[in-house]
Every structure is written in C-alpha cells, then in structure tokens.
Chains A and B, each alone.
Chain A
C-alpha cells in the first residue's frame, strides 16, 4: 500500500466515523480513534492528535448553524469554558505522562459511557423552577425559541455544573475528544437547562475546549499532517451527511445498531490496553 492509497482509506474511515458520530450524537472524534487504532493500527497518540482537530472542525461548523437559531446560551458557555479549558490543560499534561495502555483503557470506558448516555438521552420536560442566586448574578437566565415563541428559562446548579465541566475538560484533553456526553450531563442534569439549549451550548463549547489542548498536542508532535488531513476532511464531510440524515429520518434502530458496534470497539480497546497490544 502506498501513501495515496492509505490516505484515501483513512479518509473513507473518517467519513464513516463522522457519519456515525453525527447520527448517534457521539461526535466524529470519539468514533475515529478506535477506528484508527484498531483497524489501521495507528499509535493512539497520532490518533488522538488527528481526532482533536476533527473535533474542532465539526463542532465549530455545527455551532455556526446553532448560533443562528438562537438556542446556544453564550454566557453559560463562556463561563463554563473556564472550567473546560483548565481541565483540558490538566488532561493534556496527564496524557503526556500516562502510559499508552492506560489511556486506551480510559478511552474505552469513556466510549461505552458515551454510547450508553446517547441512547438514554431524551428531552426532559422543562421544570419551572424559580431563579437561582449565582446564575442571576452571572446573568445566565435567557430565552430560547419554542413552538410558542421565545420562552424564558432559569439556570441552576452553577457550582456542580462547573465541577462536571472540569471533568469534561480533563477527558477532552486526555483523550482528544469533545466529551459532549459529560457536557450535556452537566448542563441538562445539573444546571437544568432546556434540552436543546444543553446540546447546542455543549457543541458551542467543544471547539474551545479542544483548541485548549490542540496547541500543546501540536507542539509535542502528536498532530501528523499526513494523517490529520484525511481524518479531518473525512470526519467533517461525514458529519455533515450524518446531520442531514438525522434531520430527515427516524434513526432509532440505526442508532442502537451503531451503539452496539461502538461498545464492541470500546471493549476491544480496553482489552488491548490490558494486554498491552496497543
């Protein structure tokens, strides 16, 4: 196999990962890493570097669309980005010191959790709670578009959300993923944001969180242009396709099938981590 053939194959893999990532809501980055390590035998450090840049591309692209629709809460996003960027920097430092096999096991566990969380995810009826002191002081309360026009909502649980976001940042920096699952957990469950506000604001934050670790990964030589190029372009185009399919069809069964496949990949990553085959 020559470089041109390998590049096309990796791009095809990126397309598939981006498509599945968008359809399941997991994100292309988290799907492309097991693909690169298990199918192409790529060292997980190169895989993480390539995944990270594709995470920035897909989340920034999607955030642009969501911003126009007016769901994203910029203040909540900006405030929590303090936690995710600090977390991301901690995560990178951990990644530079941890053994590859340990990273692989953590990745597998995170992947299983994300797949499980994406299946369970469903719009929670918005509770009508009164204003919260910290959130009011930070002027986080906002409105979002619904079928009945703009609806007002209050933000809650800022300290817990902030702490969870730190964890999301650490995982993002350590594994080169967006960790959207933990971000949505923080905003949906802890801060009681309306579902669509949680998912879009999470997406809005992912690019910044990933950029925080990408700089260090770049200067440590984890981002290889020959690999990152086909991965990034493939994932970007694939996720655009996945988002289109998602908007048009009921993909519940497809989602379930992909989640099972992803869980198997995750188990293989954990197994390889324990046996030291990565």
Chain B
C-alpha cells in the first residue's frame, strides 16, 4: 500500500507516509480513550470505597505500576486495571509512531534517520520497559 502510493506522483514526497502516521496516532488516541472510558464506568459503578485521598502521595500499588500487573488487572476486568491499560495504550501510541518512522526511513534507505529513529526508540523503550524501582 505504501509502495504503490509512493510510486504515484503525489504533490509532496512523504505525504502518504504522513497520512498513515496521522491515522496511527488518531487510532491510538481513540482506542486509549475508549478503554479508559470503559474502565472509568467499571471503576465508578463498582467503587464502594471512601473517596481516595490525593493530598498525600502514597504511590500506586505494584499491580498498577508494572505492565504485567496492569495486563493482569485489565484481564480481570477491574476498573482501575482497565483505565491503566488504556493509559498504557496511550503511552505506547507515540512510541508506535516512532517505530513506524523507523520502518519508513528504512524503506527509503535513509540511513542517517534510521539511526536517529533507532536512538529515540531505544530511549523510549528503556523508559517503558526498563526497571525503575
């Protein structure tokens, strides 16, 4: 799909790639908002606890801080777990955008920017997947 539209003469060289990238971002944000919404409904309808005190910082419990824990909580259809899973999708959206750029630059054999995107991608994955306890 990318190849065929690139060979066609578009007004701007990277236009089709830009549009695909925009579509990726839009989908990611919409999906994240949807999951957060569903999680919010579950959270509010099942949340019988007294109101959380946000004035004192306690930090989240470990099951809402790690990717494995969040996935487990979301699969159990717990409200807070679902919201956190939606937020994880949201955080992953720009990272997916950089990964998309990486493949686009690779396809164009633009080696300078292959290296550039790889560096950014590495830093992002380090932040998301690294252990920061």
Contact = CB atoms under 8 A, between A and B. Distances in A.
A3 interface: yes
Residue in A46, A213, A222 whose Cβ sees the most chain B Cβ within 10 Å = A46
A64 B25 contact: yes
B54 A207 contact: no
Interface in B6-34: 11-12, 14-15, 18-19, 21-23, 25-26, 28-29, 32-33
Contacts of A43: 54-57
B115 to A, nearest CB: 10
Given A41-B54, A57-B33, A61-B26, A150 B93 contact: no
A4 B92 CA distance: 28
Contacts of B19: 67-68
Given A7-B44, A208-B98, A229 B66 contact: no
A249 B7 CA distance: 41
Interface residues of B, number: 70
B14 A215 contact: no
A32 B40 CA distance: 19
Interface in A12-67: 40-43, 45-46, 53, 56-57, 60-61, 63-67
Contacts of B117: 78
Chain A interface size band reads 35 or more
Interface string B89-118: 011111101100100000000101100110
A218 B55 contact: no
A75 interface: yes
B44 A85 contact: no
A208 B117 CA distance: 11
Interface stretch (A107-115, A230-238, A259-267): A230-238
Interface string A127-144: 000000000001100010
Contacts of A227: 52, 54
A65 B22 contact: yes
Given A43-B54, A224-B60, A233 B40 contact: yes
Binding site secondary structure of chain B: helix
Contacts of A219: 65-66, 131-133
A221 B60 contact: yes
B113 A75 contact: yes
Given A3-B44, A226-B52, A228-B83, A215 B39 contact: no
A46 B54 CA distance: 7
B123 interface: yes
A216 interface: yes
Nearest to A206: B94
B113 to A, nearest CB: 6
30 contacts: A1-B51, A3-B44, A3-B50, A41-B54, A45-B57, A56-B94, A57-B33, A60-B90, A78-B113, A79-B116, A89-B127, A139-B112, A207-B94, A208-B94, A211-B91, A211-B93, A215-B91, A215-B128, A215-B132, A218-B84, A218-B91, A221-B59, A225-B39, A225-B64, A225-B83, A226-B43, A228-B83, A229-B36, A233-B36, A236-B29
Nearest first, the 4 closest Cβ-Cβ pairs linking A and B are A221-B59, A215-B128, A215-B127, A225-B83
Given A74-B101, A75-B113, A210-B94, 8 more contacts: A7-B40, A7-B44, A57-B29, A60-B94, A67-B21, A208-B124, A211-B124, A215-B132
Interface of B: 11-12, 14-15, 18-19, 21-23, 25-26, 28-29, 32-33, 36-37, 39-40, 43-44, 47, 49-52, 54-61, 64-66, 79-81, 83-84, 87-88, 90-95, 97-98, 101, 110, 112-113, 116-117, 119-120, 123-124, 126-133
